[in-house]
Structure 1
Amino acid sequence: MPDSPALSVLRRVFGYESFRGEQQAIVDHVTGGGDALVLMPTGGGKSLCYQIPALVREGTGVVVSPLIALMQDQVDALTELGVRAAFLNSTQDWQQAKDVERAFLAGELDLLYVAPERLMTDRCLQLLERGRIALFAIDEAHCVSQWGHDFRPEYLQLSMLHERWPQVPRIALTATATALTRAEIAQRLALDAARHFVASFDRPNIRYRIVEKNDVRRQLLDLIRGEHPGDSGVVYGLSRNRVQETADFLCEHGIDALPYHAGLSASVRAANQSRFLREDGVVMVATIAFGMGIDKPDVRFVAHIDLPKSVEGYYQETGRAGRDGQPASAWLAYGLQDVVQQRRMIDESPGDDVFRRRLGQNLDAMLGLCETVECRRVRLLAYFGQTITACGNCDVCLTPPESWDGTVAAQKALSAVYRLQQRGQRYGAGHLIDILRGKSTDRTRQHDHESLSVFGVGQDISEQTWRGVLRQLLAQDLLMVDGEGYGTFALTEASRAVLKGERKIMLRRDLEKREKTPRGGARGKAPAVDLPAEALPLFETLRAWRGEVAKSHGVPAYVIFHDATLREIAMARPATLDELGHISGVGARKLEAYGADILGQVR
């Protein structure tokens, strides 16, 4: 029985023997003219779900993408496969744009990538009216959600595609969306009748780890040196100053780190992004403006040095690790000040009470993930409505945390806040802990706080443990941050039950000393891949050859071949072009272009 047109394209163009998961069902549905909303985790193969239907159907697949800085790489990768692809965006001059428009009208393009801002211009809409469109693919569809973490106002206008081209199938794709966000995407893009395809959100190759913040830059350096020396990674911070200072710190300590934030010029950001994509072992320190659509498969770790604002944002960002399916780390350090800062930002945020309440719910879910004493992955996937058993590959599963009855400690802390409130006073964590521990300071003496009945009632608990107690009281909504912007504490409605002894408080016990790396801080580079010793020399030879080819073509190395393909070649040691053609990821175009060279490297 002959292959279907879609399977034939998958094998001939992309070099894969079979579809994964729901890819085939999605491809068949869209190829047949149906609309689809696709949720698939990063690295799950979303792009094939629109690229293959675009190649099978008559006309050009129009891809709406917010990622101007990455369109060139996406087009380069398709061109390497022999696919006729181009883009239209603001980086092109008049002549380049005109050449692309001519190719589209002549039917010489399989795929055309367009930024949403460009798509909405009269010139672009008139151009599309004159050509033949195979489908519309709306990538990073969560950008349409006003509750989402990457909201783009231009996406709100994309519902007009259905109005102007009602017969052209549309496929909207994202890696991250709760049921609520999914419903919003469908409604705003007029995809109410679209078929939904929701793959599992689980990324079993990623190890999740959340630690208490304690000199976070040093903790980060220990992580990179001890577990990921020479690896590519992404470090996320909330502010541009935080990002810049952390990148500088890592560079001072011998890590090849680059910053990415809004304070840098567009040219510097583009140059840093290009280096990260094209070179091995670069660590990008960035605000959340970086990373959407980054297709680098060998990012071995994603670290957060500040608390993310939502579980959706956290999942999206950590998903950039380990796209190749190899082991990767998602590491987050957070502390009391993170909670105080986030609560304060919500109170001060513009918008109505409904908006602030939604932000508060997002933060509560994130804090719940941080403070959980059950499997991180169970908690993470439950947020997206999926149920799994304990994963065995997160810090909670590997080193189960202790919990302790913190009711008395909570009562002492809340009583201290209450006594200060009675005096019309509010203070932050540092002074509150001084009072609880009975530490005499200029401030305690000046304000006569040493006469308070709660002064010194918590001497038996260390300062670090008290910070953990206060952080968890904030997380459980038993303390609140004032709305005046000072980061001081006040009681909540829920505090009363604890003070009256009507509610028991269980707390997670934090480690008293700085976290040790699982490998004991070993400095040596671990093997990059899990390969038999006899295959490693050939794998490294192939990587070096690939690097030279990529450099000469001006593209990232993974555009030539992914590591997974080179691993399979190193294991199989093909001796003929026919044998090489059966390796996953070696399509007809790449076999023709690189087959002889690869066989030479194997020999």
Structure 2
Amino acid sequence: MLADAPFEPLNTDSSTPSDRSPVAYLKRYYGYDHFRPMQEAIIQSVLAGKDTVVLMPTGGGKSVCFQIPALMLPGITVVVSPLIALMKDQVEALQLNGVAAVYLNSTQSAREQRQIEDDCLAGKIKLLYTSPEKLLSESFFIFLQQLNLSLFAIDEAHCISSWGHDFRPEYTQLHALRAQFPAIPMIALTATADKLTRQDIATRLGMVDPQVFVASFNRPNLSLQVLPGTNRLQQIVRLLQMKPDTSGIIYCLSRKATENLAAKLQEKGLMAGFYHAGMSNSERSMVQEMFLKDDIRIMCATIAFGMGIDKSNVRWVIHYNMPKNMEGFYQEIGRAGRDGSPADTVLFYSFADVATYKDMLSEAKPANLGVQLAKLERMQQYADAHTCRRRILLSYFSEELTEPCGNCDVCRNPRVTFDGTILAQKALSAIVRVQERVPMNLLIDILRGSRSQTVLQYGYDKVKTYGAGKDLKFDEWRSYLHQLINIGVIEIAYDQHYALKKGILGDAVLFEGRKIELVRPEDVLKPVVEKPKAKNQQAKDDLFEQLRTLRKQVADEQNVPPYVIFTDTTLEDMARQRPTTPDGLRNVSGVGERKLQLFGRRFLDVITGYVRGQAREGNNLRGSTHLVTLELYEKGYSMEEIAAERQVTTQTVLSHLLYLRRSGYSIDLEGMITSAERAEIEEAINQIGFDNNSAKPVYEHLGGRFSYDKIRLTAALMEI
């Protein structure tokens, strides 16, 4: 928590909300001019006192849906959050925005907790974050009954439902809130829940006729790509070389895999760490904090990592292994690009991952084995798809995408099919001739004519189809066999050591002339050859890097993650607009009043210094010419000397100084003319008027005793 964060929002901004409209609060505290889809409707539902259920994807802006009502309603909002790291991040971000928010949990001393409780009782707090365990204790209920409560917000609400993918027993007791506080409205929020889970959430919380909002699951800023699960380390390194100095997560299936991969990446000079449930609490907290603060850029992690991560500048997510269901996959890729800027997601797919999951399920024999196997099959279908992946992903969540997305690997590189009937027949013939007893890798060895020990030991080099596919590489055969499995030509006997057998279409292909279309295997990831950047884009990128460096410095000083200071999207908007005044910085998306007060001057100094530097090098970016004039003015040059130095007219210099004065810079225009001169010129202007396009009438009226510049200066001062 920020040591010196004020509890009371500062009211030093002239735009402090007075009309009580949600969008005014959005601008004041968050720096945005417009809500994202559905946010305002949700806020209005809460403000009307209605119980509300919100299903909104990760990065969709769920938190704003209860934080703005908390600011607008009298009293205090209690937020239930399952993870300490999550509530800590959100509270730090709110405090930097000037919002009176705190959290109560087991990490605090008794003295700290008493102080926070006193502040709540004194009405100094608007949002109080806590865990379900803390909330449900008897002493805490007594404390809550003394507060002026306005709202209960249940975050990660899928945890309350046994139908959800991350059920937590402690959440089931939250129904006590309705029993104890029947008049206080509730909002329940989650990123992943099907219709049954949403209904269960409302029932278990005792909601009354809740308003249900289901936002689109489409995250168009996320690119989707599936790559063959071969040479993964090489492909990952190549991908990271294309995205230097960016943050990302690599999800692995096992704890050991996270440690091994992190070590290999470190050997290659990359800032990588690992995270899994086998680490101690202190170890996990330390590495998570390093990742949040950009002290390490790459996190190799199991699925134990992520729900408590509110890091908005994750630019990529890689799945080293295929997830076991679409819900988990969607939630994990959703941790990229939360700020709305482009982000990449890559899934490495191999049949071995599917086999591993099926082994695990067959050993565990869960009660819902059939459901879990069906979910695994849907995940496999996504990975094997040769049509728009986003359409497949969204259809799983009952959402239709009418057109191909254009931002997945299939859309960018449409698959070209070929007649693969002969390949299918060769594979089937080999399977039959070895009596449907061999697994995939051994079948490929037989088709390719390998003289491996196993092939020779069992006499497979004597079968008629031995070497029938030697013209293809091992990985090519594996890709084609995967496709044949997925379309039903071949099937796998999981209970017979993964032996390959004829599938439901096998006889039709062998004996009935059934044609099979296949797709050639994709190459591994290739470096993207970027077009040379335009001068303006290069300037934007260079300035963005300078702003990002400053952001890290400021974040370290405040002991918060960099994205809490400003998101990447906000820095990109700064680099695009290049504001040099406080009013200009207010127009940048994501700059609220409190952050403008705290950090605005330092970011403006970087922007101004960059623009001036570009101007000295002859790169006249927008606004740079005014700043060069300002630099000479600040050195004590007269208007005539500035004009001579810059080889422009004094009229141009005057226009620059006027612009700077109106933009908020301290420009002493009055000192450029005596009071007597100004009085005489003002009298003439009042008599005959002044035309901005021509000072000649006033000049002639005064008999040419005053220069055109002094006449224009006086006219400008009369308007200021």
TM-score using structure 1 length: 0.89
The whole-number CA distance in structure 2 between the counterparts of 1:552 and 1:395 is 41
The correspondence of residues 130-279 of structure 1 with structure 2, limited to 5 A, is: 130-191=146-207, 193-225=209-241, 227-279=242-294
Give the partner amino acid of 2:416: E
The residue number in structure 2 matching 1:358 is 371
- Offset, 1:517: 2.8
Q: For 1:136, what is the secondary structure of its paired residue?
A: strand
The whole-number CA distance in structure 1 between the counterparts of 2:390 and 2:167 is 26
The correspondence of residues 309-458 of structure 1 with structure 2, limited to 5 A, is: 309-352=324-367, 355-388=368-401, 389-410=403-424, 412-414=426-428, 416-417=430-431, 426-452=437-463, 455-458=466-469
Q: For 2:145, what is the secondary structure of its paired residue?
A: helix
Deviations 1:549-590 (A, max 9, x none): 211111112212223333333444445434433433222322
Q: For 2:32, what is the secondary structure of its paired residue?
A: coil
The residue number in structure 1 matching 2:129 is 113
Higher relative contact order by CA 8 Å / sep ≥ 6: 1 or 2?
1
Cα gap change, 1:87/1:501 in structure 2, threshold over 3 Å: closer, same or farther?
farther
Cα gap change, 1:268/1:280 in structure 2, threshold over 3 Å: closer, same or farther?
closer
Question: Is the aligned partner of 1:472 residue 2:483?
Answer: yes
Which of 566, 572, 582 is 1:567 aligned to?
572
Question: Is the aligned partner of 1:44 residue 2:60?
Answer: yes
Any conservation in 1 of the 2:51–2:208 contact (CA below 8 Å)?
A: no
Q: For 1:238, what is the secondary structure of its paired residue?
A: coil
Deviations 1:414-443 (A, max 9, x none): 555555557xxx443222222333433332
The whole-number CA distance in structure 2 between the counterparts of 1:105 and 1:495 is 73
Identity %: 44
The residue number in structure 1 matching 2:527 is 517
- Offset, 1:322: 1.6
- Offset, 1:258: 0.8
Cα gap change, 1:471/1:193 in structure 2, threshold over 3 Å: closer, same or farther?
farther
Task: Please provide the CA RMSD for this pair.
Answer: 3.0
The whole-number CA distance in structure 2 between the counterparts of 1:280 and 1:557 is 10
Q: Larger deviation: 263-272 or 576-585?
A: 576-585
Deviations 1:356-390 (A, max 9, x none): 11111111111111111111112111111222211
Which of 6, 16, 22 is 1:6 aligned to?
22
Give the partner amino acid of 1:315: Y
Any conservation in 2 of the 1:339–1:475 contact (CA below 8 Å)?
A: no
Question: Is the aligned partner of 1:90 residue 2:142?
Answer: no
Question: Is the aligned partner of 1:17 residue 2:27?
Answer: no
Question: Is the aligned partner of 1:463 residue 2:468?
Answer: no
Cα gap change, 1:394/1:197 in structure 2, threshold over 3 Å: closer, same or farther?
same
Deviations 1:263-313 (A, max 9, x none): 222212111111111126611111111112422222111111101111121
The correspondence of residues 535-554 of structure 1 with structure 2, limited to 5 A, is: 535-536=540-541, 538-554=543-559
- Offset, 1:37: 1.7
Give the partner amino acid of 1:56: M
Give the partner amino acid of 2:28: R
Q: For 1:7, what is the secondary structure of its paired residue?
A: helix
- Offset, 1:494: 6.9
Question: Is the aligned partner of 1:285 residue 2:295?
Answer: no
Aligned length: 590
- Offset, 1:169: 1.6
The whole-number CA distance in structure 2 between the counterparts of 1:519 and 1:368 is 31
- Offset, 1:26: 0.4
Give the partner amino acid of 2:337: G
Question: Is the aligned partner of 1:594 residue 2:613?
Answer: no
Any conservation in 1 of the 2:318–2:346 contact (CA below 8 Å)?
A: yes
Any conservation in 2 of the 1:310–1:366 contact (CA below 8 Å)?
A: yes
The whole-number CA distance in structure 2 between the counterparts of 1:58 and 1:113 is 17
The whole-number CA distance in structure 2 between the counterparts of 1:575 and 1:441 is 71
Q: For 1:126, what is the secondary structure of its paired residue?
A: helix
Q: Larger deviation: 501-510 or 128-137?
A: 501-510
- Offset, 1:147: 4.9
Any conservation in 2 of the 1:297–1:322 contact (CA below 8 Å)?
A: yes
Cα gap change, 1:307/1:535 in structure 2, threshold over 3 Å: closer, same or farther?
closer
The whole-number CA distance in structure 1 between the counterparts of 2:580 and 2:466 is 79
Give the partner amino acid of 1:174: T
Question: Is the aligned partner of 1:58 residue 2:69?
Answer: no
The whole-number CA distance in structure 1 between the counterparts of 2:346 and 2:603 is 37
Any conservation in 2 of the 1:84–1:110 contact (CA below 8 Å)?
A: yes
Give the partner amino acid of 2:361: I
Cα gap change, 1:433/1:112 in structure 2, threshold over 3 Å: closer, same or farther?
same
The whole-number CA distance in structure 1 between the counterparts of 2:172 and 2:365 is 21
The whole-number CA distance in structure 2 between the counterparts of 1:411 and 1:498 is 7
Q: For 1:210, what is the secondary structure of its paired residue?
A: strand
The whole-number CA distance in structure 2 between the counterparts of 1:500 and 1:153 is 56
Any conservation in 2 of the 1:137–1:172 contact (CA below 8 Å)?
A: yes
Deviations 1:85-107 (A, max 9, x none): 11122222322233333333333
Any conservation in 1 of the 2:273–2:296 contact (CA below 8 Å)?
A: no
Cα gap change, 1:165/1:407 in structure 2, threshold over 3 Å: closer, same or farther?
farther
Task: Name structure 1 gaps, 5 residues minimum.
Answer: none
Cα gap change, 1:516/1:579 in structure 2, threshold over 3 Å: closer, same or farther?
closer
The whole-number CA distance in structure 2 between the counterparts of 1:300 and 1:3 is 38
Question: Is the aligned partner of 1:482 residue 2:494?
Answer: yes
Deviations 1:54-73 (A, max 9, x none): 11122221111122123222
Any conservation in 1 of the 2:239–2:525 contact (CA below 8 Å)?
A: no
Deviations 1:476-499 (A, max 9, x none): 464234247x44445666766666
Q: For 1:130, what is the secondary structure of its paired residue?
A: coil
TM-score using structure 2 length: 0.75
- Offset, 1:20: 2.0
Any conservation in 1 of the 2:151–2:185 contact (CA below 8 Å)?
A: yes
Any conservation in 2 of the 1:336–1:471 contact (CA below 8 Å)?
A: yes
The whole-number CA distance in structure 2 between the counterparts of 1:602 and 1:447 is 73
- Offset, 1:244: 0.7
The whole-number CA distance in structure 1 between the counterparts of 2:245 and 2:73 is 44
Q: Larger deviation: 203-212 or 541-550?
A: 541-550
Q: For 1:551, what is the secondary structure of its paired residue?
A: helix
